[in-house]
Amino acid sequence: MTTEAYLNHPTFGLLYRVCVLENGEELFSTLYAQRLFFVVTVGNQGIQFDPVSRADARLLLEGRLRSLRRFGQSEEFQKVQKTYQQTFQ
């Protein structure tokens, strides 16, 4: 079962979660164009949106893949790898 998560950005509208990163961060992208990426952090002061370039988003996802492979989380690795291929290739 795939769990989808969405956020409403005040300027860019609906964002969907690409993947969960480390340290409580998540990578989100604009729903339709998949051109704008944000690292979203939920903290004591609310939700923080940090814009990142497409290249940086790709690097973050590649880092997540390496981490999952290193820790032997094959099921999650396959999900993130599929997302990576759909988003960046």
Task: Name the residue ranges covered by the structural domains of the chain.
Answer: 6-88
6-88 has which fold? SH3 type barrels. (2.30.30)
pLDDT number for residue 73: 93
Instruction: At 7, list the tokens.
Output: 């956020």
pLDDT number for residue 3: 79
Q: How far apart are CA 44 and CA 35, in angstroms?
A: 29
pLDDT number for residue 81: 96
pLDDT number for residue 22: 84
Residue-by-residue DSSP string for 12-55: TEEEEEEEE-STTEEEEEETTT---EEEEEEETTEEEEEEE-HH
pLDDT number for residue 72: 94
pLDDT number for residue 2: 60
pLDDT number for residue 49: 93
The model's pLDDT over 4-41, given as tens digits with 9 standing for 90+, comes to 899 999 899 999 999 999 888 999 999 887 789 999 99
